[in-house]
Amino acid sequence: MALMTGAQYEESLRKMRFNLYLQGEKVECPVDHPIIRPSLNAVKMTYDLAHDPAHEELMTATSHLSGEKVNRFTHLHQNADDLVKKVKMQRLLGQKTGSCFQRCVGMDAMNAVDTVTFEMDRDLGTQYHARFEQFLRLVQDEDLTIDGAMTDPKGDRSLPPHKQADPDMYLRVVEKRPDGIVVRGAKCHQTGALNSHWILVMPTISMGEEDADYAVCFVAPADSAGITYIYGRQSCDTRKLEGGALDVGNATFGGHESLVIFEDVFVPWENVFMCGEYRYSGMLVERFAGYHRQSYGGCKVGVGDVLIGATALAAEYNGAAKASHVKDKLIEMVHLNETLYACGIACSAAGARTASGTYLIDMLLANVCKQNVTRFPYEIARLAEDIAGGLFVTMPSEKDLRHPEIGPKIEKYLGGTSGVPTEDRLRVLRLIENLTLGTAAVGYRTESMHGAGSPQAQRIMIARQGNIEAKKGLAKKIAGVAGEDTKQGKN
Residues with catalytic roles: 100, 104, 191, 257, 292, 296, 299, 447
Of 181, 156, 180, nearest in space to 167 by CA: 156
How far apart are the C-alpha atoms of 24 and 182, rounded to whole Å? Answer: 28
Q: Which residues on neighbouring strands pair with residue 261, listed in sequence order?
A: 186, 228
Q: Are 255 and 102 in contact (CB under 8 A)?
A: yes
The gap from C-alpha 22 to its chain's centroid, in whole angstroms, comes to: 22
How far apart CA 428 and CA 246 sit, in angstroms, is 9
Q: How far apart are CA 172 and CA 168, in angstroms?
A: 7
- The rounded distance, in Å, linking the Cα atoms of 49 and 5 is 9
Which residues, including other chains, have CB under 8 Å from residue 194's CB and lie 6 or more apart? 18, 20, 30, 36, 39, 222, 229, 231, 256, 258
Contacts of 345 (CB under 8 A, 6+ apart): 84, 87, 297
Helix axes 80-97, 281-318, angle to 10 degrees: 40
Length of the chain: 491
Whole-angstrom distance, CA of residue 265 vs CA of residue 116: 24
User: Rounded to 5 degrees, what angle do the CA atoms 399, 404, 408 make?
Assistant: 90
Looking from the CA of 200 toward its CB, the CA atoms found within 13 Å total 25
* Single-letter amino acid code for the residue at 301: V
SS3 1: coil
Distance CA 176, CA 182 (A): 6
Strands 272-275 and 60-62: unpaired
Q: How far apart are CA 41 and CA 10, in angstroms?
A: 9
Within 98-241, where are the H helices? 104-124, 128-142
Of 25, 26, 23, 35, which is closest to residue 242 (Cα–Cα)? 35
